[in-house]
């Protein structure tokens, strides 16, 4: 069963107001979007917001890309997923990720250690807990004994985010879908190869593993402004060890080194300049509507089933242009 191609909108856009986010969710549904996807990186808490958005809409699927596995225990995740899954059957898709040093260590004051093991243990515990079984688990970083909740009657698929080979393969092997983010276009073939390796390791047909990607989009004729917005938003991302290593692995070793060294010396101009126009265009979908729409179709043809539109240039005009470019009346795969 190969998954159909889906168009999705990333929420919230620019407002940190719950009411604005729900209004945009309703608008995206009315325009024919298949999915809405939240992030869970502080501010508007995604797991609190999810049922509010599901209640305010009728048919869209709601996903989270991603809930960090370090910030909530498996028992908390299992009980939360159970409530939302029971209340909105077949419409909720939580995604888990390891997040980054900046978020886990700086924001939360936790240790960012053994992310692969943390993900493996979390998934093992979630499968047990959501199946209604009592826990008796000793993993390499997590353990649980004696926790039990009612089985989740309407299945809640759990997706996993991956950047480099080990996590991509693990996500396809033990997750129900794979979430991608912020990769240069030229790296997609090798990303898809690792997803296939993980799927086959679990005896799955790779075509059965849904691949989701949040694309950084700005529909505008002013490419220079869009590239600058991309640099402003993501040079700090690529300075973190996780994303810096990923950029190097994706074939941009020189840019990764420039960003790392620029960030270390607090030279923000050097750091931003390392995200060249060419690299911004390789990662983002920045430009006029027809050009960006064709890039989205190319991604879908290359194996990404669910393509999430995340508008990165915060003006009302560009948000409108971006949201409307992928409305059902204006876009199809």
- CATH number at 311 reads 3.20.20.30
At which residue do the structure tokens 């515990």 appear? 125
| CA 83/CA 116 separation, integer angstroms | 27
The pTM assigned to this predicted structure is: 0.96
**Between the CA of residue 296 and those of 143, 159, 186, 195, what are the distances in Å?**
42, 21, 14, 20
| pLDDT one-digit tens code per residue, 224-247 | 999 999 999 999 999 999 999 999
Domain hosting 32: range is 6-222+287-325
Which of these, 327, 332, 331, 246, lies nearest to 32 by C-alpha position? 327
Residue 52 has pLDDT above 80, yes or no: yes
13 part of a folded domain: yes
* Domain presence at residue 244: no
What's the domain count of the chain? 1
pLDDT at 3: 86
Please give the angle made by the CA atoms of 18, 20 and 26, to the nearest 5 degrees: 105
Checking DSSP bridges between strand 92-97 and strand 159-161, what pairing results, if any? parallel
For the cut 80, the answer to whether the pLDDT of residue 15 exceeds it is no
The model's pLDDT over 112-132, given as tens digits with 9 standing for 90+, comes to 999 999 999 999 999 999 999
pLDDT tens, residue by residue, 262-283: 999 999 999 999 999 999 999 9
Strands (E), 210-318: 210-219, 285-287, 306-311
Residue 227 lies in a domain: no
Examine residue 282 and state whether it is found in any structural domain, yes or no. no
Does residue 76 lie in a domain region? yes
Q: Is the predicted pLDDT of residue 41 greater than 90, yes or no?
A: no
Q: Is residue 277 part of a domain?
A: no
């Amino acid at each position: 069963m190969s998954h159909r191609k889906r168009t999705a909108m990333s929420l919230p856009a620019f407002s940190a107001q719950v009411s604005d986010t729900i209004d945009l969710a309703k608008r995206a549904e009315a325009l024919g979007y298949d999915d809405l996807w939240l992030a869970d990186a502080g501010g508007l808490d995604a797991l609190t917001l999810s049922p509010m958005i599901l209640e305010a809409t009728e048919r869209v699927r709601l996903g989270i890309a991603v809930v960090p596995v370090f910030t909530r225990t498996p028992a908390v995740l299992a009980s939360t997923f159970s409530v939302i899954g029971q209340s909105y059957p077949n419409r909720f898709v939580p995604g888990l990720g390891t997040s980054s040093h900046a978020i886990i260590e700086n924001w939360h004051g936790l240790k960012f250690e053994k992310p692969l093991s943390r993900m493996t243990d979390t998934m093992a515990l979630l499968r047990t807990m959501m199946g209604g079984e009592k826990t008796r688990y000793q993993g390499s970083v997590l353990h649980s004994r004696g926790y039990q909740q009612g089985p989740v009657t309407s299945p809640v698929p759990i997706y996993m985010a991956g950047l480099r080979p080990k996590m991509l393969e693990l996500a396809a092997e033990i997750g129900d879908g794979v979430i991608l983010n912020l990769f240069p276009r030229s790296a997609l073939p090798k990303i898809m190869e690792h997803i296939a390796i993980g799927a086959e390791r679990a005896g799955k047909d790779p075509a059965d593993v849904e691949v989701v990607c949040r694309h950084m989009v700005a529909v505008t004729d002013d490419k220079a402004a869009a590239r600058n917005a991309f640099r402003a938003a993501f040079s700090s991302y690529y300075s973190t060890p996780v994303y810096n290593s990923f950029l190097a692995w994706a074939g941009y070793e020189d840019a990764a080194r420039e960003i790392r060294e620029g960030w270390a010396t607090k030279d923000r101009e050097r750091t931003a300049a390392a995200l060249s126009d060419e690299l911004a265009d390789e990662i983002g979908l920045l430009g006029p509507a027809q050009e960006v729409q064709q890039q989205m179709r190319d991604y879908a043809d290359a194996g990404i089933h669910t393509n999430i539109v995340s508008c990165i240039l915060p003006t009302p005009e560009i948000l409108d242009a971006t949201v409307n470019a992928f409305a059902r009346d204006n876009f199809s795969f």
